[in-house]
A and B are shown apart, each in its own frame.
Chain A
Amino acid sequence: MSGTGFYEPVRFSGFPEIKESLVSGHLPATFMLAPLAMKLRQEGIPVKIVYLGHRDGTALMVHKQSSIYSIRDLKGKTIAVPNRYSNQYLILFKALSNLGMTIKDLNIVEMPPPDMPAALYSRAVDAITSGEPFMGQTELEGYGRVLYQAKEIWPNFISCVLVVREDLINSHPEGVQRLVDGIARSGKWLEGGMDHRMMAAENVARQYYNQRPELLQFVLSKPPDRVTYSNLLLVRKDFEEIERLAIQAGILKDSIKFEDYADPRFSAKTEGAKAYDWGGPK
């Protein structure tokens, strides 16, 4: 997924800054939490979801020495989520309502994912949930324990999606298509074998993520389907489920139409996409 010259990746530290840059028009495209993208659309920001970033790859971690062994044990505890407009928050809501509990039984705080490992280590919070590699990091560094993987509660879990402003879609549809194709093909390449994943971790880690390669390698391999990069098509059903939960959880006011917040044309064209033929950096 490295830049081939027609787009420039910009790394952020938190979702609020991404949101502001997208809303102000200075950032024409970005990866972003799916419910947040839908919320922005509802507020009238002219954006469209065009593709997924990945599936699964989210967990809820507790401190190894804590006495939390089931979701019921979370009652009265403090849990950090990336943002209230996130599927990490909604999946908690879903899990709790399955057990007859409510979100009010928990103390939810919003925290940028990069801050979460240190917060768990110092036990400033009782549990953290967000995407990888921050969950795996707590495991690798020996103080975190998985309470659940997102896929156990919400199969084919979606976390981040690719959001593009309408003016970019109108002015550079080919560019958007190339970007989506690139993600699709990289995804297929990543799924083409563990050696591909290890290679990717090695190269992406330092340059784009500023992380240790060992951490990304851990997250991409143990277990092998911790994060999946195939099956990134926009499916209406997935999003209507997100919408349903969001309204129940009270973070979305009324219902919104899939046609309004999503543009599946780009995703549809990736059907026959072939994996990249990448053998490593030149």
Chain B
Amino acid sequence: MKSRIEAVLLPLIIAALVIFFWHMAVVLSGTQIFPKPVQVLLGMVELARRGVLFKYIVASLFRVSSGFLLALAIGIPLGLLLGWFGRAFKAFNPAIQVLRPISPIAWIPVAILWFGVTDFAPIFLIFLASLFPIMTATMSAVQNIQLVHLRAARNFDVKRVALFTKIIFPAALPQIITGVRIALGVAWLVVVAAEMIAVNSGLGYLIIDARNAGMRYDLVVAGMALIGLIGLILDFLFRRLELIDEVRWGFNS
């Protein structure tokens, strides 16, 4: 019980301290641009009253989940295959490592050329940003599977497909989950860059547009705070997923 209270109380105290120091910093520096915490809160209220708060959150969530789920659907199977088949890995890994460091922002012109002013452009960017962490973690997880499991599988004469679904995938799962969690964080991080393209909704769009609209930096920081809060919630939900039985199988060897 005590640790549960601590888990909630301690972060809250830190948050309160941060807000206090933020407020003092703005007041003492006399800045005309950076907003005070209360202004940010009022900004969020204004967005809610204008009816755009929920709409924008849904829009960003939609694009992030679309890009992210697509990256999962493509990245995990590909990662499993490339991690298992040594020759395929040797052939494709260099290309992957070349593409991986290219920031999603650099892909924006390509995204516009291919997808225009639709939702597909930011979804594509988020897909790209999530794909590489997922694939890399999956490939590495497969390569790290302990020989014990593979020898046991060979002893029982497990066939190809079953080998993948019953042995390889579950053994790789813990490391895959870690990569997926990182990818989710990256996906949510990229939403601002992705929504710089002419979509007219979303939290990233809110920030870009508030920045363009004169001195509305209270909305800019409100958007940042919302992105942060939702990112926290997503990460929390994901960690609960990690606690489920099947996933822990890999650790017990």
Contacts and interface: CB of A to CB of B under 8 A. Distances in A.
Q: Do A and B come from one complex?
A: yes
Interface of A: 10-13, 16-17, 20-21, 23-27, 112, 114-115, 117-118, 121-122, 137, 141, 209-212, 215
Nearest to B109: A20
A252 B208 CA distance: 32
Contacts of B113: 20, 23-24
A94 B81 CA distance: 62
Given A20-B113, A24-B116, A210 B212 contact: yes
B231 to A, nearest CB: 23
Contacts of B197: 17
B214 A12 contact: no
B214 A212 contact: yes
B94 to A, nearest CB: 29
Contacts of A12: 198
Contacts of A13: 196, 198, 208-209, 212
Interface in B63-115: 108-109, 112-115
22 contacts: A10-B200, A12-B198, A13-B208, A13-B209, A13-B212, A17-B198, A21-B116, A24-B113, A24-B116, A26-B115, A114-B211, A114-B212, A114-B213, A115-B211, A118-B33, A121-B33, A122-B33, A141-B215, A211-B213, A211-B214, A212-B214, A215-B214
A24 B197 CA distance: 14
Which size bracket describes the interface of B in this complex? Answer: 20 to 34
Interface of B: 32-33, 108-109, 112-118, 196-198, 200, 208-209, 211-215
B190 to A, nearest CB: 17
A26 B213 CA distance: 26
A211 B215 CA distance: 9
Nearest to B114: A24
Contacts of B32: 121
A27 B211 CA distance: 24
Contacts of B108: 17
A13 B32 CA distance: 23
Contacts of B212: 13, 112, 114-115, 210
6 closest cross-chain pairs (CB), A and B: A26-B116, A114-B212, A20-B112, A210-B213, A24-B113, A12-B198
